Amino acid sequence: MEYTVKSGNPEKQRIGCVVIPVYASRKLSPSAKIIDKVSNGYISNLVRRGEIEGDLGNILLLHNVENTLCDRVLLIGCGKEKDVDFNTFYKINRTMVKTLKSSGATEIASYLTEIQVKNKNINWKIQHSILAIEEDLYKFNLLKSKKKETRRPLRKFIFSVHGRGQLMEGEQAVRQGMAIASSISLAKDLGNLPGNICTPEYLASQAVKLDKQHGNICTNVLEVADMEKLGMGALLSVTRGSRQPAKLITIEYMAGEKKQAPIVFVGKGVTFDSGGISLKPGEAMDEMKFDMCGAASVIGVMSACAELQLPINLVGIIPSVENMPDGSASRPGDIVTSMSGQTIEILNTDAEGRLILCDALTYAEKFKPDVVIDIATLTGACVIALGAHSAGLLGNHNPLANDLLSAGQTSGDRCWQLPLWEDYQEQLKSNFADMANIGGKPAGTITAACFLSRFTKKYHWAHLDIAGVAWKSGKEKGATGRPVGLLTQYVLDRVKDEN
């Protein structure tokens, strides 16, 4: 899809379709008033007759409107003008795309950018229009033998801006929107691939591919023997039952000042999670291919930042394994020694994400990070607590947590902070090792983060539990690409603050 910005009145757009907002109570937007005036009251007459009320989701597609140069005018109901927020704006754009896909128009001029969204400027509206459009257009057809082609696919969107003074900023918003949308699609593709294709080795190859695509990215992959030398007993305990060798993938993007401490992202990369000896129920086990969505989001955010050539230092660390049951798999009751030297009693082999993350978090120390953020589909308890709307956020540094909460509000890819009180550490006590890898059913998301916190005492750290937001089940089953939007916005905010 091609995106661009342009200033100019809607009636002068020689294009397949012009998209115009209309508000509830039959209130016309500025662009609708212009079309109405040149067409001798055609729009207001339609509104008066009740052809479109302006309620959220209303649509009316008009052809050959008098005194306009476009083939079609699409009127979109936006609800009450003062009530438009992120979610409403997103729904309006999705409604637009769903309608246009079957309209026959291939080039579109959108005046939805004139909608007033609370506390958001024109750049935000352009960027998030692109994200909404690409979300609706995304299809995972890589593995289908027959790919359904759209007869007349959408191929160009032009966003309206107010005068030439906004063109340069608008083009930058387009660039950011396209980079983030592309990276979200990359994360979705990785998440949607089945476990027999997306193995730890495949994930490593995708990280190496980033290295080849971007001159400012350097990728390194540690093999099992390398991890054994580093003493990563917790990570390697997970992969013992699999024929797929573990990989520890490091992606470095160093475009900031040499003295600048990097932001480190750590993404859980379990390419298939059977639960190991603590075998999961068979129902919906196919969805355990999504257990590497934390890793996919790290690859996605590194790709977006490299594409935008942001002046900052970043490191992505991906511990990648497959968790399978076999004669050599870890057993409940086994005790392993982590890279930090702390010992762990494995009471449940299905609590494997924290075992690979703890060694990766210790490994992160070598980069002398400014902050470390880990991203993981870690606990079913987070799904129960927060559902599919918000990722869980915990950490040891409130300013970092606040920055992530703020980035979530800006991006619409939200998170919600849970407590990380010392009281919860009691649940991880073991009679035989320094700690157990589970703390029982109560506060499962919190005790999982408490476990990780024992390996993050040397730096500022935040943990995002994305178990509820990383993929959808049911008819729309598939990876969401979250939280690439949140993490990229966090980096953009950091760049803005430091410049």
The mean predicted confidence, pLDDT, of the chain is: 96
Start-to-end Cα distance in the chain:
32
CATH of domain 193-498: 3.40.630.10
Residue 145 pLDDT exceeds 80: yes
* Separation CA 327–CA 384 (nearest Å): 33
Residue 398's CB is within 10 A of a number of other CB atoms, namely: 11
Three-state SS for 65?
A: coil
Bridge partners, 461 (sequence order) = 372
Cite the active site residues. 280, 354
Residue 150 pLDDT exceeds 90: no
Which residue in the block uniquely carries the two structure tokens 């299809």?
139
Confidence of residue 165 (pLDDT cuts 50, 70, 90): confident
Share of the chain above pLDDT 90, in %: 93
Q: What is the mean pLDDT of residues 287-315?
A: 98
The DSSP line for 230-299 is HT-HHHHHHGGG-SSPPEEEEEEEE-S-TTSPPEEEEE-EEEEE--TTSPPPSTTGGGGGGGGHHHHHHH
Class (C level, CATH) for 2-138+152-180: alpha beta
3-state helix, strand, coil in the chain (%, to 5): 45, 20, 35
Share of the chain above pLDDT 70, in %: 100
The DSSP line for 92-116 is HHHHHHHHHTTTS--EEEE-GGGS-
Taking CA 412 as the corner, what is the angle to CA 191 and CA 183, rounded to the nearest 5 degrees?
35
Q: What is the mean pLDDT of residues 76-92?
A: 94
Q: What is the mean pLDDT of residues 75-97?
A: 94
Nearest to 101 by CA among 141, 59, 64, 143: 59
Q: Which two tokens stand for residue 113?
A: 């950018």
Contact present, 235 and 319 (Cβ < 8 Å): yes
For 423, residues 6+ apart whose C-beta sits below 8 A from its C-beta are none
Residue 152 pLDDT exceeds 90: no
Q: For the chain, what are the domain ranges?
A: 2-138+152-180, 193-498
Residue 350 pLDDT exceeds 70: yes
Q: What is the mean pLDDT of residues 126-131?
A: 96
* Separation CA 310–CA 257 (nearest Å): 12
